[in-house]
Structure 1
Amino acid sequence: MGSPGRVTTPRAWEPRSKHCSELGEVAAYVPDLLLSEDLKQESRCVENFHGVLLFADVSGFTALTEKFSQSINLDQGADEVAQTLNRYMGDILEELLAFGGDVLKFAGDAVLVLWRVRQTQLRDTVGLVLQCSQQIQAKHGTRDTDVGLKLRLKIGISAGHMSFLTVGDKQEQRFLIVGQAVGDVWQAQNLASAGDVILSAGCWELCNQSRVKAKCLKGRKAAVKVTGVERMSLSEREDISSKVARARLSSCSPQQPGVLRPAITLAPRRALGKLLRKYLPATVLRKLDDGQPLEYLSELRPVTCLFVKLQFAARVNLTHIFKAIQDSSVLMSEILRPHKGEINKISMFDKGCTFLCVFGLPGQKVPCESVHALESAVKISRACLSRPRKIEAVSVGVTSGTVFCGVVGHRVRHEYTVMGQKVNLAARLMEHYPGVVSCDAATYAASRLPRSYFRELPEAKMKGVVDPGTVYQYLGISEKPVLGTGVPKARSEYSPLLGREKELALFESHLNAYVARKESHILAFEGAIGSGKSHLFSELACLGQAAGHRVVAVELTELNQRQVFSAVHMVLAMAMGLQACKSCSARQLVLQEKLRGLMEESSYCLLNVPFLVKFPLSEQVSKMSGAQRTVELESIFKKVLQKTVEEDVALFFIDNAQYIDPTSWAAMSHVLRDVPIFLVVGFAPGHCGRERLCKAAADIVKLQQTTYVQLEELQPAAVVQKACHDLGVVSVPRDLETFLMQRSYGIPYYCEELLSYLRRHDLLLFQQQRKQEKAEAKWENLFTAQSEVWLGRGFPCRWPLGRAEQRLGVLLALRGAAVPLWREVAVEEKRRSLALS
């Protein structure tokens, strides 16, 4: 058992128990309720029973998570979070399990526990649970941590009739508890302050009031605060506990000495094991199958959280609620799976059912994660409301940021969960902006979607949220084209392209051949996110412009894939200069000038939708079918490109070409046969395979005039060169080189983020280079006149004291394997002079 005090033990869980079986490892993720004889059959999805519920909530953990998420070493920060919470939660759970409680669910840093008994045993069981609660609060009500934050506990208790509901499909199963007692325990916990034990009104009426001292909170029939409980005798406690245990252990192995939870000793049973695995997340199953320790599941990880609430009508029976939850659960899974999202938790309190969905868990990271989450939110909202199942409203909150992902609980009973400030914010958005899909500013910015797809929402005061920032309503991706998007990032004079000499030479070679022969050529680059593909594109565009050629460049996003002819329209708009036009009339004038002689004026109205203009509808176009209009638009595309290449050598760049819509691919394949163009396209990995591209795109990639190049990771020399440039130094130590290569894998973006993180946390310190010194000074030179100081996050360092110039920045600290590495970094003379001035 733990006790109040500082958390100093390095590991939260003892090594795996010798009693734990292979099936027990799986059973540790589910409650005993799922193992009982009357519920473990797949055909049985609803069961009614009586019991006592306890909801214990740890306050202060979100602040702890945020503090550790600022750590320079996220892996170590995640381990600190897991150890601190699980040491505390483990002590609490040991008490609950020892008193016969069945741990149903973990809701982040809270836990819901059940004592399932007959209705006639409720009175005595409430007394048992009260004794357990008082003991927990006395021993573990407050816990200090090593970082100066306190963890505190508050408890709510209810009792009565409830229903156990299993939902899901053939791949995934989830369960929840429904009933008045569930809503009561939630409300009781909400009324509690740190250190309190609150009884619901119904629970207060059931219990033996002569043995309980309580204080009314809101009148005679409302919840009460427990101030004292008459202690049970040992024989009385054992008698009540044995009655509880008989129901709980009906399908488990008999109680064994030294085994806190018999379920972990279950003998291998293939059918039961297969059924239980459906209740476990894919992330957990992979770790279990690989035999990896539970600690490996804990990390501080950037994800996108999506909280969904289904609000039911006031007068709706349980049958309709059960059916609505089942249908909604299946719908959500079908919507989330293609986007690599998954349901992490499902709970029901009061009159609403909530689902916590997460995008970006291990093995599930995808590009444009926030777009996937927002679109999934809209689809979920529409799909759930379309079903006639008494759902009055669907509210969704979406947030993006770093949260704790990992296993929470005790060695014999735990769950994989996500928690942190961003998870809490998603829940608050869901509650305070009902009936809409709302999102935080981080999700809005990360999506890179046009502002017209969002609407700013009014401010709302949210419990536990000091500054939520701007909140937006997501309206959904429109099929209408949006002008003013697709402009690629401009080349930065301060960020030279490094390590891509082969690609630059290849571009110049093919460009020279194109200029000489005027034959179509396609240069396709495939590069991972962060590999510098967009940087390469901007450099190639500059080379083309420097050679006196016209450059037409666009950058696509995922929304373009969902809009007909989107890529074609963007290329046309850029080629004709429509992006710079601020009004409809200005665009019409440009179109009339550029298209004069290329098409009849009666056909101008075909351009109204793609270019947001208002040419009068002609009789000729009004009689055209959809297929005829498509042919005519392709003809316009071809004529504009033909005129463009005839007037000058024009180079076309399409970044993120995996988002070209099928109709644009088809149009491009037709144009390439007749118009000699030089086209440079960029793909993300996995999108160039034949199974992922439409036929027209696959045909283009396989053309003889297509050169396909895979961007490789940067070589060590280029990584060092980049580090020197980004830091403004002339050299870096070998330890930093090794650190960057091991952590960045040669990906430029990762290298930038690592360096940015080191600088942001004051762990990069610079030593000025004296003329007589070599590029990398010797470590011994730092210890001439020295004085110890504390730097950054508690790392001790020494440097020579003297003039201000000598204190400019001295050492580099890297925190790897929990051992700081110290070396010198020489600062570029010009940078040093600017800093001093």
Structure 2
Amino acid sequence: MKYRGIKNTKKEEGMKKKTKKDKPTRKIKKTGKNKKGVSTKKTEIARRASAVSSFLPQKIVYSKILAQKSPDFELLPAVLFYGDISGFTSMSEKLAKLGKEGAEEVTKIINHFFEPLIEIILKWGGDILGFGGDSILAVFTDNKWKHPKELRALEAAKQTINFVKKHERIETKKGRFQIKMHTALTSGKVYFKDLNNDFFIGGKLANQLINIVEKAKAGEIVTNAAFQKIVKEGFRKTEKSIWKWINKKTKPLEPETEKEILQTIQKKVSSRIETLTPYLTEWIRERIYLKPTFDPKDGEHRKVTTVFLHFTGISYEKEPEKSAFLIKGFYKTLSETSEKYGGYLNKLDVSSTGERAIIVFGFPIALEDDEKRAALFAYEMLNNPFIKSKRIGLRIGINSGFVFSGPVGSDLRREYTVMGDAVNLTARIASSARKDEIIVSESVFNKVFGFFDYSSIAPREFKGKKEKVRLYRLLQKKRVAKSLLSKWLSESEKIVGREKDIEKIKKGIKTVKKGKGQILAISGEAGIGKSRLTQELIKHLKKSGFSIFEGDCISYGSAFSYHPWVDILTDFFGILPDDSMKERKKKIKKGMVSVNQKLSQWFPVIGEVMGVSFPETSLTKFLDAKIKKQRVFDITFDFMKFVAKKKPVSIIIEDLHWADTASLELVNYIGRNIKNKPFLLVVVYRPIKKKEEFMEKDFSTLITLKELSKENSLNLVKNLLNIKDIPQDFKKLTIEKSQGNPFYIEELVKSLIEQGYVAEERGKWKFTGDIKKLQLPDTVEAIILNRIDRLDIYERDVLQVASVLGREFDDFIINAIYPHITPLKKSLKNLQHLDLIKKEKGKKQIRYFFKHILTREVAYETLSYARRRDLHKKTGTYIEDELKDRREEFLGLLSYHFFEGKDFDKSLLYSVEAGEKAKRVYANEEAIEFFTRAIESYEQLEKH
């Protein structure tokens, strides 16, 4: 699965259902009944509601379900409970050797312990705040309970420890393991803040809890002095402010429950589930929608990078109001920055010296470059203006390795977590960091040293590690002056390794100039050089005096009837982007009549394709869609023949593999009718399985682009840099990594310039760094992502926004939807200098396009789903409001953008209209696709 970027967007309400393309539609029978006579729809909703509430503390569930107004903060009189279970980590590492079977067994064992422990804590009025992999954090408050919170917390501690003692020996497929538990209890006031999409606890009481639990041995319960003072008997002081429970013979309390509250909650939770879903990350909501139950098969071992980020400098008890403001701002920065780099904000947690956040990169979706993302995230947090101005101190540790990941807990309370030696080491690295310092392990350093300046740290000893651990301190992010790349040659002036292909092109052009039609098909994988060869072809066409018409197919355009031909007809009629509907009509009429006066009867047919309405004529009024479609083909060819009277014509269709059915049929129609006419039909595409008609013509030539030879790969580097020789290390790197892919080579060279391994000296490029140390991705997509990651925040942002608009985008549209006009202009300029986009000036317009379609695809995939939806909706709204007189033309785009933006009301409306339009021009497959989208939109509206 490609990287899309992780979706840590908790702000959305409700549950997201993927499109038909992602998974089959799941229908809930509205009238069905289960064995108890309850409708299956209600049962399904109840199961989902139960699953959602299991991921949250009761305090949050109660306040939202009962519609209680959340205070800005609370200083809660409470007892904090911390149960630390040891033995799981070593067991998990041994069972990892069994693969998924081992992961399943680990989950089963952990939940075998946690389920009864959770029941015990809840039975005594505890509210579970979270799990630390193999630990449980809970809070006890007084509320309406008969027994005081201290006694109930103590009873829960005793019973949980007794349960573990009774079941401490575990038999597994990898031998016998011993599980133990110790507990800490602290009484006082704890700082609590509801963030409306998460929650936070902190303050001295929480810090004290973690401090004293580390003093307890297996089977012990330790408390603070305040707790002992209330319970009084049964304790022995072990050291300053720490007391150990020693009275084993006390009479147990009678448990109690808040029956009235529980009954009210159970009745309301299903009907108010939308108040709880913002607290869950989108991928968990999606997981619950697909399957609201959890089992041992959900766990797995995987490689991730974890970041532990300690933060201090907030005085919760002394300045609670100010602390509420700081926590809100800090959390916003934390969640936005982690989302930006594809991290999963796993939790806010407490530590002995302050509070901390745990962020995971590579879970739940694997990332090729999770170490780099984690480091960039940490660097940006450390340099964030809000955090620096508010003097919030950060201590950050980063480590990568294999961990166990999955759901921990029970149906009553659970969370997704990661655990294992790699996580434990991250926690210890972070604890060893000084204020405002980022410390990384060697496994992370090996992947990120090319992006940062760093200093080595003397190897340190850590608990659980036999040998000392090598560490590195990240300093400044490496930067290269943008002026270097502004001098960059877009591509090698001389095309390399395609000499035979160019001879075929020249031969085809000569044949066409003699009045004999030719079809030229250019096929090859992404990045292999199709666009570069097409540019070379256009150069030769211009020299030979051809009229050139170009049309592009788009990745999301298979449902847009005639998309590439609309480009061609727009060029033929001389229509500009800012032309009014009146001007468009005038130009279409003039163009058609100039070809043939009789074509005035067919304005509505061509207008339908162009999104311009004309009144039906006596000829078109009663024609069926099939005949109209044939007339579109005939008239379009008439236009091209009209141009060919003066000079030869070349029609170039790029990315044919994405073409809609009607466009492909028109390509085949043109292809079968040009044999004895001065036409060159050029089709460019990635390999397609189906053999199209145009491929079988005796006047068709296929150019299949292959990888460059080793010699030509090196020649391309020399041409790009205009140098005569290349260091031996780089020769080896180029050949091994690129596998002869020209686009990879080009992006590789640019990446080296950006990282400082290739620098300009006296107007010439030279290799300056140690290539042996360079770590590079193995795929074209990964190296593009590598370059995108090094853009500054605005450049990256603009590139991502542009990717939503497609491979080509107009200046006026991106100006309208991008919120910051000054950085937009600067960023567009820099992106051109960096050779990621190109600018094209027309008579009244400015257009930009991604230099390579892969760049657009990778940039789009880096967007979070939430941001993607927002941008699609914003684009749709702009087209709807500002280009309303061109509504017909943009029906397909409006359907697409509103559907991807999850505005299902408008998606339904425009999908139906676009389907009707496609049906009218006999584009039946496209009509079906639009109507299917309309049905999916309706189902989404019904569901919500």
Shift of the 333–667 alpha-carbon distance from structure 1 to 2, 3 Å rule, reads closer
Q: What's the counterpart of residue 343 of structure 2?
A: 341
Q: Distance in 2 between matches of 1:109 and 1:217?
A: 26
Q: Is 2:462 the partner of 1:462?
A: yes
Q: Is 2:382 the partner of 1:381?
A: yes
Q: Is 2:356 the partner of 1:354?
A: yes
Counterpart amino acid of 2:723? Answer: A
Q: Is 2:273 the partner of 1:277?
A: no
Shift of the 682–455 alpha-carbon distance from structure 1 to 2, 3 Å rule, reads farther
Q: What's the counterpart of residue 51 of structure 1?
A: 78
**Which of residues 239, 243, 246 in structure 2 aligns to 1:227?**
246
Counterpart amino acid of 1:117? Answer: D
Q: Is 2:683 the partner of 1:551?
A: no
Tell me, yes or no, if the aligned pair for 1:35 and 1:251 is still in contact at 8 Å: no
Q: Distance in 2 between matches of 1:403 and 1:53?
A: 28
Q: What's the counterpart of residue 216 of structure 1?
A: 237
Cα offset for 1:377? 0.9
Counterpart amino acid of 1:125? Answer: K
Counterpart amino acid of 2:359? Answer: C
* Secondary structure, aligned partner of 1:326: helix
Q: Is 2:133 the partner of 1:108?
A: yes
Tell me, yes or no, if the aligned pair for 1:439 and 1:471 is still in contact at 8 Å: yes
Tell me, yes or no, if the aligned pair for 1:657 and 1:681 is still in contact at 8 Å: no
Q: Which moved more, 1:371-380 or 1:304-313?
A: 304-313
* Secondary structure, aligned partner of 1:253: helix
Counterpart amino acid of 1:326? Answer: K
Counterpart amino acid of 1:84? Answer: I
**Which of residues 135, 146, 155 in structure 1 aligns to 2:159?**
135
Deviations 1:282-327 (A, max 9, x none): 2321121012531253222222211111121679623333322221
Tell me, yes or no, if the aligned pair for 1:404 and 1:418 is still in contact at 8 Å: yes
Counterpart amino acid of 2:182? Answer: K
Q: Distance in 1 between matches of 2:836 and 2:79?
A: 66
Cα offset for 1:514? 3.9
Q: Distance in 1 between matches of 2:279 and 2:262?
A: 18
Cα offset for 1:376? 0.9
Matched pairs, number: 526
Tell me, yes or no, if the aligned pair for 1:553 and 1:574 is still in contact at 8 Å: no
* Secondary structure, aligned partner of 1:459: strand
Cα offset for 1:475? 2.8
Cα offset for 1:579? 4.9
Cα offset for 1:373? 1.4
Q: What's the counterpart of residue 176 of structure 1?
A: 200
Q: Distance in 2 between matches of 1:685 and 1:197?
A: 58
**Which of residues 150, 153, 159 in structure 1 aligns to 2:178?**
150
* Secondary structure, aligned partner of 1:470: strand
Tell me, yes or no, if the aligned pair for 1:82 and 1:408 is still in contact at 8 Å: yes
* Secondary structure, aligned partner of 2:275: helix
Q: Is 2:272 the partner of 1:253?
A: no
Counterpart amino acid of 1:52? Answer: V
Cα offset for 1:155? 0.5
Q: Distance in 1 between matches of 2:713 and 2:158?
A: 78
Q: What's the counterpart of residue 754 of structure 1?
A: none
Deviations 1:699-756 (A, max 9, x none): xxxxxxxxxxxxxxxxxxxxxxxxxxxxxxxxxxxxxxxxxxxxxxxxxxxxxxxxxx
Q: What's the counterpart of residue 190 of structure 2?
A: 162
Q: Distance in 1 between matches of 2:138 and 2:861?
A: 51
Identical-pair percentage: 18
* Secondary structure, aligned partner of 2:76: strand
* Secondary structure, aligned partner of 1:30: coil
Q: What's the counterpart of residue 687 of structure 1?
A: 858
Shift of the 691–396 alpha-carbon distance from structure 1 to 2, 3 Å rule, reads closer
Tell me, yes or no, if the aligned pair for 2:209 and 2:352 is still in contact at 8 Å: no
Cα offset for 1:192? 0.8
Q: Distance in 2 between matches of 1:654 and 1:115?
A: 51
* Secondary structure, aligned partner of 2:390: coil
Q: Distance in 2 between matches of 1:80 and 1:690?
A: 35
* Secondary structure, aligned partner of 2:709: helix
Q: Distance in 1 between matches of 2:439 and 2:862?
A: 35
Q: Distance in 1 between matches of 2:722 and 2:496?
A: 23
Q: What's the counterpart of residue 656 of structure 1?
A: 783
Cα offset for 1:685? 9.4
* Secondary structure, aligned partner of 1:656: helix
Q: Distance in 2 between matches of 1:215 and 1:579?
A: 72
Q: Distance in 2 between matches of 1:388 and 1:206?
A: 42
Shift of the 70–551 alpha-carbon distance from structure 1 to 2, 3 Å rule, reads same
Tell me, yes or no, if the aligned pair for 2:127 and 2:140 is still in contact at 8 Å: yes
Shift of the 133–611 alpha-carbon distance from structure 1 to 2, 3 Å rule, reads closer
Cα offset for 1:167? 2.4
Deviations 1:250-309 (A, max 9, x none): 74316xxxxxxxx6x344454x31121122232321121012531253222222211111
Q: Which moved more, 1:473-482 or 1:438-447?
A: 473-482
Shift of the 304–291 alpha-carbon distance from structure 1 to 2, 3 Å rule, reads same
Q: What's the counterpart of residue 490 of structure 2?
A: none
Tell me, yes or no, if the aligned pair for 1:333 and 1:343 is still in contact at 8 Å: yes
**Matches for 1:616-695 after TM superposition, within 5 Å:** 656-657=783-784, 662-664=831-833, 666=835, 683=854, 686-687=857-858
Q: Is 2:226 the partner of 1:207?
A: no
Tell me, yes or no, if the aligned pair for 1:50 and 1:118 is still in contact at 8 Å: no
Q: What's the counterpart of residue 318 of structure 1?
A: 320
Cα offset for 1:577? 3.7
Q: What's the counterpart of residue 410 of structure 2?
A: 410
**Which of residues 181, 194, 197 in structure 1 aligns to 2:221?**
197
Cα offset for 1:82? 0.4
**Matches for 1:88-107 after TM superposition, within 5 Å:** 88-107=113-132
Tell me, yes or no, if the aligned pair for 1:304 and 1:401 is still in contact at 8 Å: yes
Q: Distance in 2 between matches of 1:227 and 1:438?
A: 41
Deviations 1:461-514 (A, max 9, x none): 2233434632122235321279xxxxxxxxxxxxxxxxxxxxxxxx99944224
Tell me, yes or no, if the aligned pair for 1:131 and 1:231 is still in contact at 8 Å: no
Q: What's the counterpart of residue 52 of structure 2?
A: 26
Q: What's the counterpart of residue 36 of structure 1?
A: 62
**Matches for 1:57-72 after TM superposition, within 5 Å:** 57-71=84-98
Q: Is 2:150 the partner of 1:126?
A: yes
Cα offset for 1:55? 0.5
Shift of the 474–202 alpha-carbon distance from structure 1 to 2, 3 Å rule, reads same
Cα offset for 1:691? 11
Shift of the 611–179 alpha-carbon distance from structure 1 to 2, 3 Å rule, reads closer
Cα offset for 1:218? 0.9
* Secondary structure, aligned partner of 2:82: strand
Query: Superposition RMSD on alpha carbons, in Å?
Result: 4.4
Q: Which has the higher helix share?
A: 2
Deviations 1:540-567 (A, max 9, x none): 777352xxx572466xxxxxxxxxxxxx
Cα offset for 1:440? 1.6
Tell me, yes or no, if the aligned pair for 2:73 and 2:321 is still in contact at 8 Å: no
Q: What's the counterpart of residue 397 of structure 1?
A: 397
Cα offset for 1:116? 0.9
Tell me, yes or no, if the aligned pair for 1:106 and 1:112 is still in contact at 8 Å: yes
Tell me, yes or no, if the aligned pair for 2:344 and 2:361 is still in contact at 8 Å: yes
Counterpart amino acid of 1:32? Answer: Q
Q: What's the counterpart of residue 806 of structure 2?
A: none
Cα offset for 1:427? 1.2
**Matches for 1:380-529 after TM superposition, within 5 Å:** 380-383=381-384, 386-391=387-392, 393-434=393-434, 435-447=436-448, 449-450=449-450, 453-467=453-467, 469-480=469-480, 510-514=498-502, 525-526=525-526
Q: Which runs of 5+ in 1 are unaligned?
A: 1-16, 255-262, 483-506, 534-538, 555-569, 583-605, 616-632, 638-652, 672-679, 693-837
Q: Which runs of 5+ in 2 are unaligned?
A: 1-42, 483-494, 508-520, 529-685, 687-704, 731-752, 766-779, 789-830, 841-850, 864-944
Tell me, yes or no, if the aligned pair for 2:95 and 2:106 is still in contact at 8 Å: yes
Tell me, yes or no, if the aligned pair for 2:299 and 2:404 is still in contact at 8 Å: yes
Q: Which moved more, 1:325-334 or 1:344-353?
A: 344-353
Deviations 1:592-626 (A, max 9, x none): xxxxxxxxxxxxxx99x9965776xxxxxxxxxxx
* Secondary structure, aligned partner of 1:85: helix
Counterpart amino acid of 2:500? Answer: N
Cα offset for 1:175? 0.9
Tell me, yes or no, if the aligned pair for 1:438 and 1:474 is still in contact at 8 Å: yes
Cα offset for 1:48? 3.1
